[in-house]
Amino acid sequence: MYRLVYISTPKPDITPAEMTDIVRVGRRNNIKNGITGLLIQDRRRFLQYLEGEAEQVEETFARISADRRHSAIIQLKNGYIGRRQFPKWEMASKYVDGDASLLSAVKELVSDCDRDVANELMSFAEARDRAA
């Protein structure tokens, strides 16, 4: 199983409808491509974890990287893992509202993950929270 984690910044003029569309289209494409994972978003950032076959995950990331609604895309991690971490979710999604942290949102979604993957995602979120 291949996974890729990235963080990006939504364009400043992104609308709530566009944010909703990202989730809707992402779920549809992930089902088609056998990808599972999560997307946590607020008005300042996206944190996404994608898992599946390497080719499909990399193609999905290339499509996301070309999307004008994203900027400052930073790939945080990629590589192979032993099993799917989010087998039930074509894309778990959480919108973080107001002053809530990415870390608190990640903690809600990683309870079934392997400990090392959960800790890794929490550390990415915590680092981003400190930088925001």
Summarize pLDDT for 30-47 with one digit per residue, the tens: 999 999 999 988 767 889
Position 94, amino acid? K
Write the pLDDT tens digit of every residue in 61-89: 999 999 988 889 999 999 999 999 999 88
pLDDT at 20: 85
Tell me the whole-structure pTM to 2 decimals: 0.89
Least confident of 8-17, 48-57, 108-117: 8-17
CA distance 122 to 106: 6
Q: Which residues pair with 10 in a beta bridge?
A: 70
**Nearest-angstrom CA–CA distance, 129 and 120:** 14
pLDDT, residue 93, reads 80
On the question of pLDDT at 109 being above 90, the answer is: no
Least confident segment among 2-11, 30-39, 58-67, 100-109: 100-109
For residue 115, the model assigns a pLDDT of: 93
pLDDT of residue 132: 66
Q: What is the pLDDT of residue 91?
A: 79
CA distance 46 to 6: 8
Contact 36, 112 (CB under 8 A): no
